[in-house]
Amino acid sequence: MNNIKDWIKGRLKLQGWDSVSTSPSSPSLSPPESNGPMLTSQSLSTSFQQLPIISGLRILDRKISEFSRFSLVFKIVLLIPMLTWLILFQFSKYIPHPHRPKIDVSTLPRAETSLLLGYSLQHFPRSELPENEEWSDFLSFLDLLSAMAYLIHFAMSWIFALFLYMYYRKKQMGGKPIAEPWTYLWCFGFLNMFAVVTQLAWPTAPPWYLEYYGERPANYNMSGDPAGLTRADRLLNYPLFTNLYGNSPIVFGSFPSLHGAWPIMITIFAPPHRVLKVGGGIYVGLVWWAAMYLNHHFLLDLLGGAAYVLFAYFVGMSTIKILKTAFKDKMLSGAASKFAFKKLAKDDGEVEDYLPEIELAIVENDPIITSSTTLKKTMSHEDVSLLDEV
């Protein structure tokens, strides 16, 4: 433990601090005194740092850093699949039509008829009920319920990522912060990237196309159609879904269904509480029903989406282990490195006296304090073992 205290004192001295105030009322470093009234760059820097606005900015920067548990580079790497998906999805409309594959209008409906339940689930239960005044209120309720499920779908994944961040923000596993929502976003990015690549390489017509045009050839000049969501637009007296689907960059992307996939991915990453897992299962069932009720997807599309989730989860969880090894010394941010020093502070009161200064040095991105490799070179074997625990 003495090696650690000596190392801390040495680092603080190298930064130009000669003494430490351990008083609870002023847990901060005392700047080195200048020699006489001579105006030097050091005294100018000290005076500048003591300006109220600069002090305020330093405090703000420190608070922002405390919210960052992982390094910026690590987070950017984990967002690469997500960014790739967004680029492919948004810019796919600029691919020249002659260079795009032929739109498949027959494989999915024929497979659905041969292998599954045919078209019996399309529009269900509307397809089984009479459209008269007696059932009109119930059918309107189903229209709005399915529309709500589809509308929530667009925002739910991002809301869920924020929920994961808030839930795991102060939790640890083995003394280290839990890598959520970054692991979720990594797998979610792979899911969407694989799905969009499939939709661009094998464009497939959705069931509403079959209902309108049969197996006549489709072309890329056609706009998307809201299908059953048109009824919700009429009830809302506003063309919300007509505008939304009319401007979709990918019209012929029935397989795999991301409407079927996203709720499953959310349920997999939901914290291990029964109410969350059951709620996730209900959400999956609601969106799957809505996708077929609104005639946007075949059951085969939804099952394909589920298969893509499992594949993306396997790829994501396998590769993130490699990333964590590669970023072993750079994965955690300076704020997250405080866990190690706070662990030491529990065992030695003198180390706790230096904790505010240590935290300040970490937040200011001291290149040696934030490098566990360099830190371990200055420690005894016992101290290294203690640091490894956190």
Residue pair 230/212 in contact (Cβ under 8 Å)? The answer is: no
Measure the CA–CA gap between 291 and 297, rounded to whole angstroms.
5
* pLDDT surpasses 60 at 21: no
Are 85 and 192 in the same domain? yes
Q: Which residue has the higher pLDDT, 186 or 23?
A: 186
- Quote the pLDDT of residue 329: 55
Lowest mean pLDDT among 22-31, 139-148, 182-191, 225-234: 22-31
Q: Is the peptide bond before 181 cis (omega within 30 degrees of 0)?
A: yes
**Residue found under tokens 């990453």:** 269
214-260 pLDDT, tens digit each: 999 999 999 899 999 999 999 999 999 999 898 889 999 999 999 99
309-333 pLDDT, tens digit each: 999 999 999 998 887 777 665 555 4
Are 352 and 255 in the same domain? no
Measure the CA–CA gap between 169 and 185, rounded to whole angstroms.
16
Q: What Cα–Cα distance (Å) separates residue 321 from each residue in 186, 318, 328?
A: 12, 6, 10
Q: What Cα–Cα distance (Å) separates residue 184 from each residue in 156, 236, 261?
A: 13, 35, 14
* pLDDT surpasses 80 at 15: no
82-130 pLDDT, tens digit each: 999 999 999 998 999 999 999 999 999 999 888 777 777 888 888 888 8
On whether residue 38 sits in a domain, the answer given is: no
* pLDDT surpasses 50 at 302: yes
Measure the CA–CA gap between 218 and 214, rounded to whole angstroms.
10
On whether residue 258 sits in a domain, the answer given is: yes
Q: What Cα–Cα distance (Å) separates residue 12 from each residue in 8, 15, 30, 66, 343?
A: 6, 5, 11, 21, 20
Are 320 and 356 in the same domain? no
Look at residues 326, 344, 379 and tell me which one is the last residue of a structural domain: 326
What's the whole-number mean pLDDT along residues 268-296?
A: 95
In 92-132, alpha helices (H): 107-115
Task: Say how many C-beta atoms besides its own lie within 10 A of residue 365's C-beta.
Answer: 11
Q: What Cα–Cα distance (Å) separates residue 251 from each residue in 197, 254, 336, 369, 381?
A: 14, 8, 44, 53, 62
Helix (H) or strand (E) holding 80: helix 80-91
195-219 pLDDT, tens digit each: 999 999 999 999 999 999 999 999 9
b/e map 145-161, b = 16+ CB within 10 Å: ebbebbbebeebbeebb
On whether residue 26 sits in a domain, the answer given is: no
Q: Which residue has the higher pLDDT, 20 or 105?
A: 105
Indicate yes or no: pTM above 0.75. Answer: no
Residue pair 143/228 in contact (Cβ under 8 Å)? The answer is: yes
Are 237 and 120 in the same domain? yes
Q: Which residues contact residue 224 at a Cβ distance below 8 angstroms, ignoring those fewer than 6 apart?
A: 245, 246, 247, 248, 251
- Quote the pLDDT of residue 128: 85
Look at residues 326, 341, 363 and tell me which one is the last residue of a structural domain: 326
Lowest mean pLDDT among 44-48, 95-99, 271-275: 44-48
What's the whole-number mean pLDDT along residues 264-281?
A: 94
* Residue 274 in tokens: 């029964």
Task: Say how many C-beta atoms besides its own lie within 10 A of residue 75's C-beta.
Answer: 16
How does residue 7 score in pLDDT terms, banded at 50, 70 and 90? low
- Quote the pLDDT of residue 239: 93
Look at residues 326, 350, 381 and tell me which one is the last residue of a structural domain: 326
Domain count, the chain: 2
* pLDDT surpasses 50 at 373: no
Question: What does pLDDT average to over the chain?
Answer: 76
Are 309 and 207 in the same domain? yes
Let me know how long the chain is. 390
Are 303 and 383 in the same domain? no
The whole domain housing 352 covers: 333-390
Q: Considering only CA atoms, which of 303, 172, 199, 331 is closest in space to residue 254?
A: 199
